[in-house]
Amino acid sequence: MSNKMWGGRFQSAPHAIMEEINASIDFDRKLALQDIAGSKAHVAMLAKTGIITREQADAIDAGLERIRGEIESGIFTFSRALEDIHMNIESRLAELVGPDAGRLHTARSRNDQVALDFRLWVRDTIDALDAQIADLQRALAEKALAHAGTVMPGFTHLQTAQPVTFGHHLLAYVEMFWRDRGRLRDARARLNESPLGAAALAGTSFPIDREMTARALGFERPTANSLDSVSDRDFALETLAAAAICAVHLSRFAEEMVLWTSRQFGFVTLSDAFTTGSSIMPQKRNPDAAELVRGKAGRIFGALQALLVVMKGLPLAYSKDMQEDKEGTFDALQSLSLCLAATAGMVRDVEPDAARMREAAGASYATATDLADWLVRRLGLPFREAHHVTGQVVAAAAAKKQGLEQLSLADMQAIDPRITPEVFSVLGVEQSATSRTSHGGTAPNNVREQAEKWIDRLGQASNSPETSRPIPSHQGLRSL
């Protein structure tokens, strides 16, 4: 039997392999609720403009509502032979409503329909991700406030550089995630135009009202060019690009959790809740959640790259290649959502070992810059000369296997006789951190102020639960 939706000119059914390569229902069923929302807006508009009668529209609308119920309760039967979500729903509608169901597709094509459904899904997902990132920021800012004065080594080249505070380090991520939210917001603003009514590619001769459907679906306006409407996937690309950058940030934090929970660093501990044991080495506690957050960045970057390649060089307007837009996007954004939830969980869970961090901050001459700065400030040395003198002091301390603080005044004066006992006031790690009061610096008072500012701002933005929950893999649909 040929396809009942488009089989008019076909004598026989497609080959099994054709069905296999063509069908998208296994993944685009995720768009079911968006598809129904789009159809409801479309049918209301068809009635309002007199393209179909009010009675026909009411029957179609009631059928769509019934299908929504069937899908939500898990009793809807999806069929591969019907290819995709659009035809699965339309076919069921015909069973429920009879031949008038066929009027729903007036002045519409699956090309604008899928562009609409996918946009709606991406938009919903951006909103869910934004709330999750805000929750992660809140977890970070709260931890930062609790540890505004907890001194730890700051690194460059992963070598101990200067003392910073744990709170300052956490707030660095709050900044990154704020930019991620900005990028998602930007993508959402550009996405928010309705392609519905572009039809197959050229628009339609029916007197449709695209403003009406755009408004009903929460869009700012209808898209301006019908060819662009059905062939544009920028909204998915932009969202994936923003997701990829966010995944970079998450992976950097995850990497630090992996490093810092190691015996060699011993800076932080994660509880049983976000670690696992080894089946062979009983002593082990592995930071698997962090490792997976770090690892999942790979599939998120991959989805962006894959969609860029699918879209590259495609002639206008719609081509079936574009059906390849969905799986990667679904997977990437759901993975990001899971990573955000896991990271927020780890942030709330993580406990720093303040003594160990402080000890590490004191090692490796982390206050050498403070000594050089003191030579500049107190003795009026040019910074380059102060740098040189400090280098000699560090070498002397290293030769004696001492820290800078332990080196005697006599030893320092042997290098530069102008050094006075006051120098010891800048060699401690707490003093070092406390002295970094410049805008954006690590001084505990700065950190406290910043953390409070963020908590304030984030508290107003949304009131999400303790730790955000990831988008369910079926996005709002049970049992799919």
From candidates 34, 39, 56, 111, binder to ligand ARG by CB under 6 A: 111
Given 2, 79, 278, 462, the catalytic residue? 278
Residue with Cβ nearer ligand ARG (3 or 286): 3
Each residue 424-463 as x (binds ligand ARG by CB under 6 A) or -, in order, gives ----------------------------------------
Given 12, 157, 438, 439, the catalytic residue? 157
Residue with Cβ nearer ligand ARG (115 or 360): 115
Query: Looking only at residues 23 through 42 of this chain, which bind ligand ARG when binding is defined by CB under 6 A?
Result: 24, 28
Tokens of 461: 């933005």
Helix (H, G, I), strand (E, B) or coil at 226: helix
Binding status of residue 213 toward ligand ARG by CB under 6 A: no
* Other beta carbons within 10 Å of 438: 9
**Cα→Cα distances 194→103, 123, 198, Å:** 21, 12, 9
In angstroms, what is the minimal distance from the CB of 28 to ligand ARG?
A: 6
Q: Are 229 and 198 in contact (CB under 8 A)?
A: yes
Task: Give the β-pairing of 221-222 and 193-194.
Answer: parallel
In angstroms, what is the minimal distance from the CB of 233 to ligand ARG?
A: 10
Residue with Cβ nearer ligand ARG (114 or 333): 114
Q: Are 86 and 113 in contact (CB under 8 A)?
A: yes
In angstroms, what is the minimal distance from the CB of 73 to ligand ARG?
A: 24
Which of these segments, 109-117, 164-172, 177-185, 391-399, binds ligand ARG (CB under 6 A)? 109-117
**Nearest of 430, 368, 423, 375 to residue 156 by alpha carbon:** 368
Which of these segments, 108-116, 159-167, 177-185, 366-374, binds ligand ARG (CB under 6 A)? 108-116
**Side-chain half-sphere exposure of 70, counting CA atoms within 13 A:** 18
Residue with Cβ nearer ligand ARG (85 or 174): 85
**Which element (helix H / strand E) includes 34?**
helix 32-48
Tokens 């206050």 label which residue?
A: 367
From candidates 110, 169, 249, 348, binder to ligand ARG by CB under 6 A: 110
DSSP state of 76: P
Q: Would residue 319 show up in a list of annotated catalytic residues for this protein?
A: no
**Cα→Cα distances 370→188, 247, 267, 396, 445, Å:** 46, 35, 23, 17, 19
Compute the distance between CA of residue 158 and CA of residue 160 in angstroms, rounded to an integer: 7
Binding status of residue 120 toward ligand ARG by CB under 6 A: no
Compute the distance between CA of residue 85 and CA of residue 23 in angstroms, rounded to an integer: 10
In angstroms, what is the minimal distance from the CB of 85 to ligand ARG?
A: 8
In angstroms, what is the minimal distance from the CB of 186 to ligand ARG?
A: 25
Binding status of residue 231 toward ligand ARG by CB under 6 A: no
The dihedral over CA atoms of 337, 339, 341, 347, expressed in degrees to the nearest 10, equals -150
Binding status of residue 140 toward ligand ARG by CB under 6 A: no
Binding status of residue 160 toward ligand ARG by CB under 6 A: no
Q: Are 304 and 240 in contact (CB under 8 A)?
A: yes
Compute the distance between CA of residue 324 and CA of residue 130 in angstroms, rounded to an integer: 25
In angstroms, what is the minimal distance from the CB of 323 to ligand ARG?
A: 4
3-state secondary structure 311-335: HCCCCCCCCHHHHHHHHHHHHHHHH
Q: Would residue 105 show up in a list of annotated catalytic residues for this protein?
A: no
Residue with Cβ nearer ligand ARG (25 or 270): 25
Compute the distance between CA of residue 198 and CA of residue 235 in angstroms, rounded to an integer: 17
Residue with Cβ nearer ligand ARG (82 or 375): 82
In angstroms, what is the minimal distance from the CB of 299 to ligand ARG?
A: 21
Query: Looking only at residues 307 through 326 of this chain, which bind ligand ARG when binding is defined by CB under 6 A?
Result: 318, 320, 322-323
Binding status of residue 369 toward ligand ARG by CB under 6 A: no
In angstroms, what is the minimal distance from the CB of 214 to ligand ARG?
A: 20
Query: Looking only at residues 78 through 107 of this chain, which bind ligand ARG when binding is defined by CB under 6 A?
Result: 84
**Cα→Cα distances 452→26, 171, 394, 456, Å:** 47, 11, 38, 6
Tokens of 252: 């950097």
Q: Are 479 and 74 in contact (CB under 8 A)?
A: yes
Each residue 321-350 as x (binds ligand ARG by CB under 6 A) or -, in order, gives -xx---------------------------
In angstroms, what is the minimal distance from the CB of 125 to ligand ARG?
A: 17
Enumerate binding residues for ligand ARG (CB under 6 A). 24, 28, 84, 110-111, 114, 318, 320, 322-323
Tell me which residues are annotated as active site: 157, 278
